[in-house]
Structure 1
Amino acid sequence: MRTNSRGFTLIEVVMALFILSLVLSSTLFAVHQYADERLRIRDRILANQVAWNHLMENYQYSQKLASRSPGDSLKTKGVDTQGGQDWRWEIKVEKAMGQDLYRHEVQVSLEGSDNFQSSLAVYLVGK
C-alpha cells in the first residue's frame, strides 16, 4: 500500500513563516517612518506659517523703524497657537548694510523646545 501525501513539511512551513515575518516587520517599520515624517512636515509647515504671519505684521509696521537710531536692534518674543500647538517665536530686527535697509529674522520653535522648526529672514526698506 502506497500513500501519496501532498502536504508541506514542517521545515517549509517554518521557512515560509520566517519570510512572512521579515516582510511584515519591514513593512511596519516603513509605515512608522512615514508617519513620523508626516508629523515633522506638518510641524515645519505650521512653524513657517507662524513665521510668515509675524514677518507680514512686521512689514506693516516697518515705517516705525525709520525713527530708530542706526545701531539699534529690536527683539520681540511671543507665543502663538497654530494647529492646536503653542509656538514660540522670536523676531530680531537690525539695521543692515545700506541706507534704510533692515534685516528681519524670525525663528519659530515648539513651546518648550530649544530646536527651531523654522527660521526666515527678509530685508525691508524703511520709509
Structure 2
Amino acid sequence: MRSWHRGFTLVEVLVALAVLAIALAAIMRTMAQAIDTTAALREHDVALWVAQNRLAEHMMRQDWPGVDTTNGDVEMGGQKWFWREQVAATQEPKMRRIEITIRRTTDSKNSSATLVGYLLNTQ
C-alpha cells in the first residue's frame, strides 16, 4: 500500500516566494518614502520657526526697517539656516511688508519656508 503525502510542489513554493518578495519590496519602498516625507516636514517646520523668530524679533524691538533686502544666518535645531528679508513699503505709510525666506544654503534656489508679515510703526 502506497501512501500519498500531500504538500507543495517546488513550483508552488517558488511562486509563493516571488509574491512575497514583490510584496516586501513594495513595503520597503513605502517605508522609505514615509521616512523621506517625515524628514522634509521636519526641515520645513524648523525653517518656518526660523522665519517666525525673525518676524517676532522685529515686532518685539518695534523695528522700523527701511525698504531693503538683508541676508543673514542663524542656527536652530543643530543646523545652520540662511535667511533673506525683503522689506517693502505698503499703501499704508505706517506699515511695512516683510517677506522672510529661509534656505539651507546661501546659493540654494529652493526655499525651505517663506513667511510674509507686516510691521507697524508705533512711534
TM-score, reference length from structure 2 = 0.90
Rounded to whole Å, the distance in 2 between the matches of 1:52 and 1:4 is 75
Rounded to whole Å, the distance in 2 between the matches of 1:95 and 1:61 is 19
Name the counterpart of 2:27. Answer: 27
Aligned pair count reads: 121
What is the aligned counterpart of 2:69 among 64, 72, 75? 75
- The percentage of counterpart residues that share the same residue type is 31
Contact 2:67–2:89 (CA under 8 A) maintained in structure 1: yes
Q: Structure 1: which 4+ aligned runs deviate by more than 3 Å? A: 61-65
TM-score, reference length from structure 1 = 0.87
Rounded to whole Å, the distance in 2 between the matches of 1:76 and 1:58 is 13
What is the aligned counterpart of 1:121 among 107, 111, 116? 116
Name the counterpart of 2:15. Answer: 15
Query: What are the equivalent positions in structure 2 for 1:34-45 lying under 5 Å apart?
Result: 34-45=34-45
Amino acid at match of 2:32: H
Contact 2:85–2:100 (CA under 8 A) maintained in structure 1: yes
Rounded to whole Å, the distance in 1 between the matches of 2:53 and 2:39 is 21
RMSD value, Cα: 1.5
Query: What are the equivalent positions in structure 2 for 1:53-64 lying under 5 Å apart?
Result: 53-64=53-64
| Structure 2 unmatched runs, 5+ | none
| Structure 1 unmatched runs, 5+ | 66-71
Residues 115 and 63 (structure 1 numbering): CA distance in 2 closer, same or farther, change over 3 Å?
closer
Deviation at 1:63, TM superposition (A): 4.3
